[in-house]
Amino acid sequence: MPSVFIENGDVFFWLMVAIATAVIEGLTCGLVSIWFVPGALVALILALCTDLIWVQIIVFLVLSLVTLILFKTVLKNVFHKKNALI
């Protein structure tokens, strides 16, 4: 295995998580995994700065949860306003 994969394993892992969740989102008709993409990208950037995997995982989970909550709240407000107009 090339040394670049061994040295930057965390970075490639988070890159693959971001790509996989984006592909899954693209293949589905509903909102399934879009909120994991920003979490994985921030964890990828964090992997460039630190080797602490537990910090990367916590940031990924917290940011994904925050993105999910914000996204659902915004969508609920948009659809509520749209239904009120009809």
- pLDDT tens digits along 33-82: 888 999 999 999 999 988 899 999 999 999 999 999 988 888 777 777 66
Q: Of 40, 21, 18, 43, whose CA–CA distance to 32 is shortest?
A: 21
Q: Which residue pairs, CB below 8 angstroms and at least 24 apart, start in 34-38?
A: 34/71, 35/64, 35/65, 35/67, 35/68, 35/71, 36/60, 36/64, 38/63, 38/64, 38/67
Mean pLDDT of 21-38: 89
The encoded tokens of residue 67 equal 């993105």
* Residue 32: pLDDT band with limits 50, 70, 90: confident
Q: Which pTM does this prediction carry? A: 0.77
